[in-house]
Structure formats: C-alpha cells, structure tokens
Amino acid sequence: MTVVRRLTTLTAIATTAAALALAAPATASGAPAAPATPAAADRPGVARTAAPNDLLGAYQAAIDALRGFGMDPFLYPTAAAFCSDDATLGLVPAVAGAVPGPWPKTAVNIPGLDLTAVKAGQTMFTFVPYGIAPDTSTVSGMRVAWMNLSNGRSGLTSMGPLSDIVRAMVPAEVPQEIRPLAERAIQDFFFAALPVGGVRAVPVDTGSGTVLAAVFGTVENAGRSCFFLPTIGLTSVR
C-alpha cells in the first residue's frame, strides 16, 4: 500500500481518534482520571499520577509543551483505550507534533561544532502520551507515515525513544568522558516539561516544503500494549 493510500485511510478514522481522546464523562462513583500536567512532575524517572476530570487539561498542557520546544502540534489529539486502570475505558491521551530543522535554534555559534539535532531539510516528528509508565526495554511500535506535498517524497518511519534525540544533540566533538553529563543535562531539561514514559521522536529527511504526516502505533505501559489511533498534522519545512 502506498503512503498516499495509508494517509487516506488514516484520515478516515481521524474523528474517531479525536472523540476517544476527549470523551471520558464522570460517573457517580468516581471521575475519570487523566495524567497530570507537565508542571506536576517532580523529577525524571517517575511516572505522573492521574488527575480527575482533566483529559482536556492534559491535552492543553501537552500542546503547550510542544510549542515551548518550537514544535507544530498536530491537528487533534489521539488516545489509547484500555491502557490504564486510572481512567474511564482506560483511556490514555496523547498528542503529536513536528518541528522543522534546524533545531534546536540557538544564538550560540561555536566554530567547528554542530549544535543541531535536526538538520535543515529535516523534520522531527514527536509523540507525547500522558499517563504511561517509564520505558523499559520495549521502545518500538510507534510510526510516522509522511508525505512532502511539495517535492513528492514520502515514507513510513519507525520512531525511537527521546534518548536517541538527546544523544544527537551532543556534538560528536564533545569528549567521551563528559558526554554522559551533557546527555543527562539535556534529558533533564526535556523531562522538566514532558512526561517520562512513552515519548517517541525521529528526525526524517523530508526536504523543504509542506509535509503531511500521520503518527500511530503501540507503546508499552506496565506490560500492556497500548495502540494509539492516528493523529495527523501539517508542517512547513524551509
């Protein structure tokens, strides 16, 4: 199946994804729980607890976090059902976003050092769920199907853990003995605003133009395989 047909199929179930992500009515015996906003996190490596009646709040917090990193949020949220014991239908909400390179943008210019993790002509796609336990050894399962509407490029790419991006952000010229310290500092910076478990990202050589993409797939949550319905977005790459 071509990427065009994949994207067409994914678009057809877009409204289902949006409905699942935002639907969780309260009951008389208890309200649906949703993951806490990024500000509630106290340290890396600790899963966030659920907060009642806050799926919409978690969604907005995730959007704000993505925008804070210079990313374009996708058009609507997504969710995985039967993924958690802390919410109605076990719903775990998530958002996705994209950031065109070069990224991160910095005014620091050090001759001989490339401080960008996402190069010009690349797009980094990111997936951010709320309410997933810290990752173990299983970090595969999320994918991005993308198409550059301007140059015709397309592909289906697997997404990896945030640690892959963290390593890429430390220039190769940094001495090996201090690389772990640099990586930890960058990781702590990300985890101050993003949840710990299930975050996925990947830079893709999309080239310049308008890029349409769909992010979907599975994330492990404390032994459960959680399937997240597709969410679709557009981003402009220079």
Residue whose tokens read 């032994």: 223
From CA 52, how far away is CA 33, in angstroms rounded? 4
For the segment 183-196, the average pLDDT, to the nearest whole number, is 76
User: What does the pLDDT look like over 89-129, one tens digit per residue?
Assistant: 888 889 999 999 888 776 556 666 666 778 889 999 999 99
Within 13 Å and on the Cβ side, how many CA atoms surround 197?
26
Between 212 and 186, the more confident residue is 212
For the segment 48-59, the average pLDDT, to the nearest whole number, is 55
Between 134 and 227, the more confident residue is 227
Question: What is the predicted pLDDT for the residue at 35?
Answer: 37
From CA 132, how far away is CA 99, in angstroms rounded? 23
User: Got the DSSP string for 38-69?
Assistant: GGG--STT-PPPEEET-HHHHHHHHHHHHHHT
From CA 112, how far away is CA 174, in angstroms rounded? 11
From CA 42, how far away is CA 133, in angstroms rounded? 15
Burial (CB count <10 Å: 0-12, 13-18, 19+), residue 110? exposed
Q: Where are the domains of the chain?
A: 3-22+46-237
Report the predicted TM-score, pTM, of the whole model to 2 decimal places. 0.71
Radius of gyration of the chain (CA): 18
The beta strand positions in 46-139, using DSSP E, are: 50-52, 72-73, 78-80, 92-100, 123-129
Q: Phi and psi at residue 17, in whole multiples of 5°? A: -60, -45
User: What does the pLDDT look like over 33-45, one tens digit per residue?
Assistant: 333 333 333 334 4
From CA 14, how far away is CA 11, in angstroms rounded? 5
Between 183 and 235, the more confident residue is 235
For residue 160, give the H/E element and its range.
strand 160-161
Question: What is the predicted pLDDT for the residue at 166?
Answer: 81
Q: Give the residues across from 33 on adjacent strands.
A: 52
